[in-house]
Structure 1
């Protein structure tokens, strides 16, 4: 029989997203659809479905429970988010080799306890979290994740943190999904500065930005876009009044609802700089998390995918990417006041060597090999 009649049997994968990471699911699709040895189907909860815009509907099955998913029909499973309903995943882990992505190491792998400080800090979600801990027993049931075949983290810094815990290190791998789609410095007299992700004081130092922006008297025209849904009506009100407080050389754009992934990407593509005021400490389900160590910021992916330089606090661990950094509010004010197109053009030249490490083909091929290894386990 001639080689032309031979074909490689494809491996079938089920991808599960019952919670929050819809944008990550879209990223999976863009890579998976170019993989020649893999077939795939997405199983999502209805609350995730309306947030998906680029995935063809025929590849999506809506389920109310993980127990409805026919995992026996697949060679392997990827759990995109593992935050609750842990008992339902137990059968999945027992039936098929499963890669479970970890977004909060202290909660979902190191099993740290609740911080009382966080309970008082998130009083508005008291009823919701009490239900999770008392009715769903997430405090102990989260340990069911240890039955998963592999753990995946989205950055090298998180893998390094797991490496310090030897009992988990051999089961943990970096799932590199960030590739650079394009990298251009827009031609414009106005410098477009985009803050990606939800406008939230929980994860970003939005209060600090509210104090810095009205003080600015920049050399260049600056257009700030807050590209995310405000966490509450108070933050929305602060955004609405911000323009009146700023210098005439500053323009402000904000949103008041969830932004579809395609519009989100188009807006980031027009940016000269991504403003990423990531707090070093945050929490998840009342458990302390540390950005860059036990939790990765989505801003990393925004920078790499769109080929943009980010402006991060020095407290955030340095990525394998060229970014700008500020020490404090005063330092940020100085940087923004003195920004010019010429300076940014020089900074983007420093970014070029990094782009070769994040080509679509290299990222796709490495990820495809990881998935095939999982299916052949």
Structure 2
């Protein structure tokens, strides 16, 4: 048994029992698919659309939350419920949530009205193509997409190596640089299959194969003004960044909760040995609980400005990532040789935790930015 889902359902801080139960019920259908998603690259489209119908993608959006109010914390916890069973699916939830979040913050009300309802309901699937852009804005990469202003929009060319939760007709948010003025950047929603935009699988990963992850090719693609989230970029990054980063903690918390469940499961027969390990289930629960309290305070004001607030958000994201690494490693030690068998749930959780640690912004990028914010 892959432990964790019952535990997270009991401890979830989702403020609406109805919302929690709806997300948990839809997530239950992922239990039998998790291994195939992870190892065989099965993309669980039906289940992901079902999560949208259950309200998982709208909790942080003013016009679509089934709580009657937007709550970033509840969106994080819904993602944790999914990730506790299958973090590949939890990652797709984050992609979907992020696309809705970009639309929440845009000044392009017409674009929001056109796309956000479908993304919130799961009728429209969506991803987030900001990995390169976030690195470029921090000075560690160059922009891979470049656009030239023409009548009615931009003509954009380039390649994004890895964008997830994609398929034909799916949308995603991304940024590009103006070829005539490198200081001018814009952000847009792009549809896979529109003229000049196509996808190609170019890598196989050690985990999360079933996440619809592809390279996206822009061949003189016309991005109309109606697709623009921000032009120029202006304050858009400052508006979306804290929520974008905090939402990622739902993946890490779900993996931690699953690892805790696996520790409890191992302790039923091996507790006499496991009691000597450095991190046990109770200690991990305490650490996860403390992180949830910190996130509850931070998620209450996702549009807050200030270097101190952003630094605290980034540190919380680091701490969740590091706890996921620590908890999954401890779960492996709790299981011993049984966890080292190919296909074991513990092995999958270890690989998922590695992903939490390296997804943009990775631990190393986060620490670099925290240091820069601390020096100012």
Q: TM-score range by the shorter chain?
A: under 0.3
TM-score (norm 2): 0.25
Greater share of helix: 2
